Amino acid sequence: MPRRSPRPANDRVVPLALRSLGSGSSGNSFVATNGDQAIVVDAGFSKRRMVAELRHLQDSGLSLAAIVLTHEHFDHSRGAIELARVSGAPIVATRGTLNALAEGLSDPTIARIAVGSTESFDIASFSIGFRPVRHDAQEPVGLSIAADDSVAVIAIDLGTASKADADWMSNCDLLVIESNHDSTRLMNGPYPGHLKRRIAGRLGHLSNDQAAACIAQAVGVGRARVIWLAHLSEVNNTRTEALHRARREVADTEIAVAVCARDRPSLTWSSGRQFRQATLW
């Protein structure tokens, strides 16, 4: 977990905020803001969509400091290169991710920053920490985003989660965790066998039960007060099933659980507040 960013000289706490632009197999993207600075975490929607989101940020007086990628898969990186080209912001990722995107990054005008999969680093007013995850990509990571006294953790696209992973997830105010599929729906569903095995495998995606187990462990020892379920499968899951399974683990707490919409902005969180439905920044 990265160190938290220092407070401004006037000791005024500047909220950390996170907005889900959408999370599912067709695309994933989040925007974190602190003061007048913003970072995009994954840019898995179309070039046009990501540039439109950039315009929204700019119209709101926000400056895009970086595009941080968790891994190279199309539903996480689709619009990243065009977003970097238009905004001038660097693409920040592990060396494995950058190597996997090498063809698209051949344009020398696109800035890129390679970061180790266990490293912490500062960008603008954010402190970011990478953590390796198990997924069928070149060098995938989850990440924590800290600003002042608040931390958000994003852990999506991982096939398994250890006790150490859950402990890492627990040290945050907002946890965004994958709850990709219901295991029974997946096994009885229309996907071919090899794809079912990939999704359910150690390098695939977390099921509702796996996500719930992580949540139970994380909230048992941690400080998370808001949990977003992300990357739900359109075919092998439902919002109702994912919510029901996760909420069983927090039934006797005041922790709020919500689901990120698959292909549109849906949730916004700001430190000191619960999640709310999406609005413009």
Structure tokens of 243?
A: 């919510």
> What is the C-alpha to C-alpha distance for residues 169 and 1, in angstroms, rounded to an integer?
9
pLDDT at res. 2: 55
User: In 128-223, which residue ranges form alpha helices assigned H by DSSP?
Assistant: 163-170, 183-188, 193-200, 208-221
State the average pLDDT over residues 93-114.
Answer: 94
DSSP state of 181: B
Helix, strand, coil % in the chain, rounded to nearest 5:
30, 30, 40
Q: Chain-wide mean pLDDT for the chain? A: 92
β-pairing, 91-93 vs 174-178, is unpaired
pLDDT at res. 281: 38
DSSP 14-34: PPEEEEEEEEETTEEEEEEEE
> What is the C-alpha to C-alpha distance for residues 144 and 101, in angstroms, rounded to an integer?
23
Contacts of 247 (CB under 8 A, 6+ apart): 257
Interval 205-221: pLDDT, tens: 999 999 999 999 888 87
How many other C-beta atoms can be found within 10 angstroms of the C-beta atom of residue 129?
22
Interval 14-37: pLDDT, tens: 899 999 999 998 999 999 999 999
> What is the C-alpha to C-alpha distance for residues 204 and 213, in angstroms, rounded to an integer?
17
Structure tokens of 276?
A: 């709310």
- pLDDT greater than 90 at residue 235: yes
Contact 258, 239 (CB under 8 A): no
Contact 68, 128 (CB under 8 A): yes
Percent of the chain at pLDDT > 90 equals 84
- pLDDT greater than 90 at residue 3: no
Q: Tell me the one-letter amino acid at 250.
A: V
> What is the C-alpha to C-alpha distance for residues 143 and 70, in angstroms, rounded to an integer?
8
> What is the C-alpha to C-alpha distance for residues 19 and 26, in angstroms, rounded to an integer?
18
pLDDT at res. 95: 98
Domains of the chain as residue ranges with CATH: 16-272 (3.60.15.10)
State the average pLDDT over residues 140-157.
Answer: 96
